[in-house]
Structure 1
Amino acid sequence: MAQRFEIPPGVVAVADYEPLAREILSPAAFAYYSGGAADELTVGWNREAFDRVKLRPRVLTDFAGGGTMLTLFGQTFEHPILLAPTAHHGLALPEAEIATVIGAAGGRAGMVVSTEADVTLEEIAQAARTPLWFQLYVQHDRVFTQALVRRAEAAGYGALVVTVDAPIHAFRNREQRAGYVPPKLSEHANLRGLHTRHIAAAELGESLMFRGFLDVTARWDDIARLREWTRLPLILKGIMTPEDAERALALGVDGLIVSNHGGRVLDSVPATLDVLPAIARTVAGRVPVLLDGGIRRGTDVLKALALGASAVLVGRPYLYGLAVAGPAGVAHVLHLLRSEFEIAMVLTGCATLADIGPAVIWNREGGGA
């Protein structure tokens, strides 16, 4: 990677990367990274939910022996901030996910690699110096899906993250207006050889979704089958209700990610932070619960952990960092979030992650949530 990447002057917060990325990326690429479904109400609500939560400062705490280290699914992480699975890093940089995984190591963060990466999962694993999980979309070809699982196992991925909230692509109007055209499934690096179903023009009509697509999408039976296929920790990403959380646990999953796909699938669903407490109460510590959606500050990380998350994942921010400053930008985004998070821990009297709980959240009576 011969190009030299530097952090631009004046970038002092994660949000500073977005306007710079808009200038660098093509309009179509920026729309793909930044846009959401329909009117993007959920995209905005994800962010607004964090803004509504207030913190309770505490003073004169003893911080001896403090730190942010944690263990998830048998792997050790220096802090509870991971890179969420996002597709098509090649829109930001030719080196694509190879640059991202280098940045993840620089930021001491785990990375969840997307099925729809622009580089094969094996190539990413070879370049990795940080824990990796593999994000899986269950394909209509279940034999191909099982082969993907086997590839992830062989490459040394530490967990399988199954996205369950996107059985079909939503209309993303911002992408449509910008002229973004996604590649065919079989054109993705990890999906070469996948036979794609062709929907003839004559089929377009009243029942297209159900006749053309939804008859082959993933079901709960597929999760049970995945549980049988792999010994890797199995994590479901896209859980937004206590009912689905309970059903997932009944099938033996090892973890959940509260996620609305960054507002990119169904518009008008609540913010992830708003649904997190109810899901955390239902899970009651039986498995780790993670969260993504809307995180832009270290204080957001603290709020998520206080309301029941074990860790968080960030998506758009590191893509903007990648576009602006390559691996250095990814590492810088993580450094900013981690530094702000540690400062917030100190100022709310939390020496370790175990100290973070409802007591750090302010309520109208002045006490903890």
Structure 2
Amino acid sequence: MKQWYCSVCHETFNGENKPTTCEVCHADDRMIMNMEEVPQSLEQVRDLARKKLKGICAAYPSCDGSFDKICQREAYGKPIGLGGVGQGLSFRANAEALADIQLNMSVLGNHFEPDTSCSFIGIDLKFPVLSSSTAGVQKYNDALDETMFCTSVLKGSKEAGTIGLRGDTWFYTPEDNPSLNAMKICDGYGIPIFKPRSQDVLKKLIEKAENYGCKAVGVDLDGCGSTIMALHGQPVFKKNVKEIEELVKFTALPFIAKGIMIPDEAQKCADAGASVIAVSNHGGRVMDSTPGVAAILPLIRKKLGNSVTITADGGVRTGYDVLKMLALGADAVFLGRDIIRAAVGAGALGVQLHLEHIKKTLKKAMFMTGTKNVKMADSRIIFKHN
């Protein structure tokens, strides 16, 4: 008699044949594996993802958008996959901006155990890293169902001691939105980030999020550059300050303005009442030739001071990268591509394993820079070239 494991809800089943669906969470057989094959390490999770994402992502040790990577090779007329738009200059700029930053190693002083805990818009987290608002993974080799992908991210994030954001894409509709479906399954423990649809559509989606008990809502303002949305009858729009203010006033939930790359626009969003300014160039997926997020982040922090919560994403792959973003001015950091690979490889278990690895390396980075808690992460720990 074989034992089977659901990587979404962690239930186990006995039987000679692989179950077609999980009896508990209703995940299909793509999320069910033989108990003997359940990954015990992050490397095993990545190996599984590599197989499922063949031709789309090879889960390289260095995810930097270089031309020699599968995701970034020229492929005219084909979907962008996990790569960056155009030549991938924005994708690479994110990685390069972080790589150029060096940390000061501090070895003198009293011994201590780094405290990675933090509060994010009133939510207590074990560490300041959230799963970012990715979407559309169902279309990657049909590797997994979209709602199960979203559910895996939310469950895995919670099990690791943090919270997950969920995104929006062209096959999501107000009536059938996988992100919100997953929020309902997870009792609202998550944060939906919607594309900049019409105001009326956004209000309907925000109302659903409120009804499901979500912790916050937001809009991917840089999603106005998505052409695939309009092609499938899901038009997106640039939003003006008045429209952002309208959405902020419409909901009692904290509002996240995501996709900000200019200090003046960050200030305008803050003035409109946004609780969080998410500094992001959408992983280099909506516009080529932008600066790296790590280069822009300090400018936005300087502009806003401590008046609003700031997050950053783009090129973050390790706990060291997380610490760099915190030192540059972020209150929390979002992870995108790595979370996709983790969820594809092993569902909620994969997401949990990846986030726990990030937390472990963040603690190491904090220890070796003399950073006793996340609030102490500042420019002091960044090496300044003469």
If the TM-score is normalised by the length of the shorter chain, which range does it land in?
0.7 to 0.9
Q: Deviations over 1:9-57 (max 9, x none)?
A: 6818xxx93x763432253688544211100011111111111111111
Give the counterpart of 1:149 among 206, 209, 213.
Answer: 206
| Alpha-carbon distance change, 69 to 10 in structure 1, aligned in 2, over 3 angstroms | closer
What is the letter of the counterpart of residue 192 of structure 2? Answer: F
1:191 maps to which residue?
none
Retained in 1: the 8 A contact 2:97–2:292? yes
State whether structure 2 residue 369 is matched by structure 1 residue 341.
no
Larger RCO: Structure 1 or Structure 2 (Cα < 8 Å, ≥ 6 residues apart)?
1
1:245 maps to which residue?
266
Distance (Å, rounded) in 2 between the aligned partners of 1:63 and 1:308: 26
Aligned-residue offset at 1:6: 2.7
State whether structure 2 residue 167 is matched by structure 1 residue 109.
no
1:9-20 paired onto structure 2 within 5 Å: 11=43, 17=46
Distance (Å, rounded) in 2 between the aligned partners of 1:183 and 1:279: 29
Distance (Å, rounded) in 1 between the aligned partners of 2:178 and 2:57: 21
Retained in 2: the 8 A contact 1:104–1:331? yes
Retained in 1: the 8 A contact 2:114–2:363? no
| Alpha-carbon distance change, 241 to 325 in structure 1, aligned in 2, over 3 angstroms | same
2:221 maps to which residue?
164
Structure 1 gaps of 5+ residues are: 171-181, 187-195, 198-212
Retained in 2: the 8 A contact 1:99–1:326? yes
Retained in 2: the 8 A contact 1:102–1:129? no
State whether structure 2 residue 111 is matched by structure 1 residue 83.
no
- Please give the TM-score of this superposition, normalised by the length of structure 1: 0.80
Q: Deviations over 1:98-137 (max 9, x none)?
A: 2222222222221111133685344312433784111022
Distance (Å, rounded) in 2 between the aligned partners of 1:336 and 1:51: 20
2:290 maps to which residue?
269
Distance (Å, rounded) in 1 between the aligned partners of 2:51 and 2:85: 23
2:152 maps to which residue?
99
Distance (Å, rounded) in 2 between the aligned partners of 1:29 and 1:60: 42
1:136 maps to which residue?
194
Structure 2 gaps of 5+ residues are: 1-5, 7-21, 23-31, 59-70, 72-79
SS of 2:269's equivalent?
A: helix
| Alpha-carbon distance change, 9 to 289 in structure 1, aligned in 2, over 3 angstroms | closer
Retained in 1: the 8 A contact 2:132–2:335? yes
Q: Give the share of equivalent positions with the same residue, in percent.
A: 27
- Please give the TM-score of this superposition, normalised by the length of structure 2: 0.77
Distance (Å, rounded) in 2 between the aligned partners of 1:132 and 1:326: 16
1:124 maps to which residue?
182
1:206 maps to which residue?
none
2:304 maps to which residue?
283
Give the counterpart of 1:298 among 292, 299, 319.
Answer: 319
Retained in 1: the 8 A contact 2:188–2:209? no
Moved over 4 A (4+): 28-33, 63-66, 182-186
Aligned-residue offset at 1:68: 1.2
Give the counterpart of 1:311 among 332, 349, 374.
Answer: 332
